[in-house]
Amino acid sequence: MADTVPLAADTALDELSDRLDASGDFAGLIASVTPLVADFPDRRRLCGYLGWFADRAAVAGAADAAVALAALAVEVLEELGTDRVRLGMALATLGRLEYERDAPDLEPLERAADLCDDMDEPVVAATVYAHLGATLAALGRPKDALAAISWSLAEQERVLIARPDLRPALLPLRAEADRVRGLVLRELGRGREAMDYLARAIESATPHTPAQRVRLAEAAAAVVDDLLAEGRPEEATPYAEAAIEALAPPECPLREPEDQEDPDDPAPDEPVAARVALARQRLVRCHLMRGELEAANPLIEELITLARRRPDEPTFRAVLADSLAQSAELLPLLGLDDGPRAESRARESIAIYDELLAAGVDAEGVHTGRSAAGLALACALELRGAYAEAVEPLREAVSTLERFAPRNRALNSYLARALLMLGDALVEADQAMEATLVLRRATQVESELLTRKPR
């Protein structure tokens, strides 16, 4: 139960800070601080503490408490009515915290922007419009978001002209503006431009709350996906590593339930754990595309182990299916299996993909992932000479890839491979007529790949 013993006004804030240091109980903090707000004599000091408490809550991942404390700070500053600069920054902080807890709210940021119209404070304006841009982007208003970010960047330049010594202090704000602009440009189909902004944001970001680390990881994931789509895994690898580090930094590693000493200490929640797993998957893809099979294999095994521990979570079922298919291909190539284990894993992968499809998960990645599992199964079957048995999974893979390749050109290389494998399997299974047609189609797809202009 929260400790709400009444406190003497002159020592209340210091005592609350000491209690928070000892307990980390933000719910108790709010229960104790709320009665003080009406009668606390030093209103400016109260505001300072409320802002500091809000920041500590955000850093601790107590998003709701952070918003509640920031809202109290705004309330006190509005009552004072004499410090528009602090009020503008407090409103910007409230808007940022609402955005960080995935409940974007324009109201405090629009009020802050109105204040900026009546005062010449470029630091305040730069801060307000950066967070306004992020919120507008989250609310599906990309053009308005770009306008707000442009305003923030212009105000940042004004600050630096007058005070170049403030450049280090403005770096996190610039990183946020670049991150939002990059994601919005990417959404608008301006990928090349977007990548430059996102790369700069990732390089200069200094996230200090869990929500900020998630946003940084999302930006890094976007860069990885775009670079891999362009066949640039060497450049993608550092961003894949940056995403993993953002989500599970060394000082706060991801732990699974059986790794915990204290059974009352909860495991990471599903969204965080799922994001870490997906980030690790991207790093695996980087290694595979670079031909670094030995580097990829232990990561894949870790993902299989991790995903098996969460059998009821759809994201982890998809991670398990993908990782099993990758393992089925790698085990024979690395000389770790001569077919049986690879075949078993490929079949398990296909079964999981079928389970996801039956549950209504109709994403392209599930269909194409099942195709990859089919190719892995065919490879395993061919290792024991079962070419006729390999024909059916290869036919299914070709059918799926023919369906999706026209709108996802990155799949054409997989389609060509599937067609060649199917043609060879048909030849070995004495189905020469169909094999001829299939191999002719494979030649056509490969020709298109060779003549296609680079993106």
pLDDT in tens, 49-74: 999 999 999 999 999 999 999 999 99
Indicate if the pLDDT at residue 402 is higher than 90.
yes
Report residue 36's pLDDT band, with 50, 70 and 90 as the boundaries. Answer: confident
Please tell me the distance from the alpha carbon of residue 339 to that of residue 169, in angstroms, as a whole number: 58
96 membership: H or E segment, kind and range: helix 84-100
Encoded tokens for 157:
């330049």
Question: By mean pLDDT, which of 264-273, 275-284, 302-311, 413-422 is the weakest?
Answer: 264-273
Report residue 215's pLDDT band, with 50, 70 and 90 as the boundaries. Answer: very high
What angle (nearest 5°) sits at the alpha carbon of residue 440, between those of residues 439 and 442? 60
Q: What pLDDT, on a 0 to 100 scale, did the predictor assign at position 252?
A: 47
279 membership: H or E segment, kind and range: helix 270-289
- The rounded radius of gyration (Å) of the Cα atoms in the chain is 27
230 Cβ contact partners less than 8 Å away, ≥ 6 residues apart: 455
Q: What are the structural domain ranges in the chain?
A: 1-82, 292-414
Indicate if the pLDDT at residue 262 is higher than 50.
no
Closest CA to 371 of 396, 335, 334: 396
Q: What pLDDT, on a 0 to 100 scale, did the predictor assign at position 311?
A: 93
The pLDDT tens digits of the residues spanning 197-213 come to 999 999 999 999 999 99
Q: Whole-angstrom distance between the N-terminal and C-terminal Cα of the chain? A: 61
Residue 430 dihedral angles phi and psi, to the nearest 5°: 60, 40
The pLDDT tens digits of the residues spanning 83-93 come to 999 999 999 99
Contact between residue 380 and residue 342 where contact means Cβ atoms under 8 Å apart: yes
Q: What pLDDT, on a 0 to 100 scale, did the predictor assign at position 264?
A: 41
Q: Please provide the average confidence, as pLDDT, over all residues in the chain.
A: 91
Indicate if the pLDDT at residue 425 is higher than 60.
yes
The pLDDT tens digits of the residues spanning 275-311 come to 999 999 999 999 999 999 999 999 999 999 999 999 9
Please tell me the distance from the alpha carbon of residue 196 to that of residue 109, in angstroms, as a whole number: 27
Q: What pLDDT, on a 0 to 100 scale, did the predictor assign at position 249?
A: 58
Report residue 10's pLDDT band, with 50, 70 and 90 as the boundaries. Answer: low
Task: Quickly list H helices, 101-190.
Answer: 106-117, 122-138, 142-162, 167-187
307 membership: H or E segment, kind and range: helix 293-308
Residue in this structure with the two tokens 């928070």, named with its chain if needed: 20
Please tell me the distance from the alpha carbon of residue 37 to that of residue 79, in angstroms, as a whole number: 11
